[in-house]
Amino acid sequence: MEAFFEALLGGLVLGLIYVAIAVGLTIIFGTLRLVNFAHGAFYAIGAYVGLVIAQRIGVGWAFIAAPIAVALFAVLLDRLVLRQFYDKEPTAQLLVTFGIALVVEETLRLIFGATTQQYQMPDALQGSVSLGFFTYPAYRLLFAGGVILMLALVWLFIERTNYGLIVRAGIRDRVMVQLLGGNIRQASTIVFALGAAIAGLVGAAATPIYSIDPATGFAFLVPSFVVVVVGGLGSFWGAVLGGLLIGELQSLTNLAYAPASNVVIYLCMALVLLLRPQGLLGESEVIRQ
């Protein structure tokens, strides 16, 4: 029973990471129509920046530096390379972002080596919290709460700001939004930086839980794409539902029959794609992209 609840909470923590990455993918797709296979690289860069800052300066600074560094990197990448791929077919976007992911992964490997690394949280956060009949690491609970808070802020951004309006409109009709005028360019940059910063921050914050190695970015990216597809490309709540579903599925399968935990999410995605191709909460118009 204890193991079950632990797996359930573990699934929540894992699922929230997927949600955070998937929300970034989704708002970037909505605004830029860019299928970003390099999004996992943002997670990895955030994690390594967080690692270095946490070990040298302090954990608090890591949580500030990681999202800023990743957002800057993303804007640079956008300006230098990705911008010319906005209007290309999705396959070309997949290929170029896949290539960028490859370059980032190998660069990280050269700098930090291939070994798995982790940093420790301050002692205050090291302990466990008693949850009735079992205890759970305090930092994991704090992490889950923090991600939920961050997602709430992102939701407010999408629902309550003018930039968010552009995101929502862009998901429905990209061409119409482009006709509305110039501020979409600025909005694109802000949304791209925001999506990247979310991934970077989560990367830095998750490293004490799931250690980091150069391949981790890609390892988190693929399930996050599964999440986006399962939830529905372009849907915020789809990403939330999909992320929690996939996280729990993976965690509980791991408990029941560990070898199947990596394949069950693909099975889930294949079923969703065959039965409801636009995803659980997706709008059918988006699927043709």
Partner 1 sequence: MTTSTAADAAPAVSARPSLLWRDVRFTVLCALGIALFPFVLHPLGGYSTLATQIAIVSIASIGFNLLLGYAGTLSYGHAMFYGGGAYIAAILMLRAMPQHPNLWLAVGGATLGTLVMAVLVGAVTVRLYGIYFALLTLAFAQMVYFIVEQAKDWTNGDDGLQALPNALLPIGPWNLDLTTHLPAFPLGPFGDLSDLRMWYVFAGICLLLVLLLFRMLTRSQFGEVLGAIRENEQRSSLIGFNAPGYRLAAFAISGALTGFSGALRGLFDGTVPVDSLSIDRSGSFVIYTIVGGVQTLFGPVAGTAVIMWLENVLSAKTPAWRLIEGLIFVGVIVFLPRGLATVLRQQRDKNPRALFVRSLRPSTEEPDPLLKAAGEGHRGGVMSIIETFKLGKLFGHFAAVRDVDFRVDPGELRAVIGPNGAGKTTFFNLLSGTIAPSDGTINYKGRDVSRLTGTARVHQGIAKAFQTASIYPDQTVRQNCRLAALAKVQGAFALQVFRRSSRLQDVDALAERAMARLELTGVADVRAGDLSHGDKKRLDIAIALATQPQILLLDEPVAGMSKDEARKTEGLIRRLATEMTVLVIEHDMEMVMGISDSITVLHQGTVLATGTPEQIRNNPRVQEAYLGGHSQAELAG
Binding residues (CB under 8 A) for partner 1: these are: 35, 81, 84, 89-92, 94-96, 98-100, 102-103, 105-107, 109-110, 222, 225-226, 229, 233, 259-260, 262-263, 266-267, 269-270, 273-274, 277, 287-289
State in angstroms the smallest separation of the CB of 141 from partner 1.
31
State in angstroms the smallest separation of the CB of 272 from partner 1.
10
DSSP single-letter state for residue 212: B
In the chain the first and final C-alpha atoms are separated, in Å, by 44
Q: Which is nearer to partner 1, 43 or 139 (CB)?
A: 43
State in angstroms the smallest separation of the CB of 267 from partner 1.
7
Alpha-carbon gap, residue 160 to 200, rounded angstroms: 24
Contact by Cβ (8 Å): 261, 55: no
State in angstroms the smallest separation of the CB of 218 from partner 1.
8
Alpha-carbon gap, residue 44 to 207, rounded angstroms: 9
Which secondary structure element, helix H or strand E, spans residue 58, and what is its range? none
Q: Which is nearer to partner 1, 58 or 113 (CB)?
A: 113
One DSSP character per residue, 95-150 reads HHHHHHHHHHHHHHHHHH-SS-B--PPPGGGTSEEEETTEEEEHHHHHHHHHHHHH
Handedness of CA 208, 212, 249, 157 (dihedral sign): positive
Q: Which is nearer to partner 1, 30 or 137 (CB)?
A: 30
State in angstroms the smallest separation of the CB of 110 from partner 1.
6
Identify the bridge partners of residue 128 per DSSP, sorted by sequence position: 137
Q: Which is nearer to partner 1, 122 or 277 (CB)?
A: 277
State in angstroms the smallest separation of the CB of 96 from partner 1.
5
State in angstroms the smallest separation of the CB of 99 from partner 1.
4
Q: Which is nearer to partner 1, 211 or 262 (CB)?
A: 262
Q: Which is nearer to partner 1, 94 or 209 (CB)?
A: 94
DSSP single-letter state for residue 73: H
Contact by Cβ (8 Å): 189, 75: yes
CB count within 10 Å of CB 196 equals 30
Contact by Cβ (8 Å): 150, 198: yes
Q: Which is nearer to partner 1, 44 or 233 (CB)?
A: 233
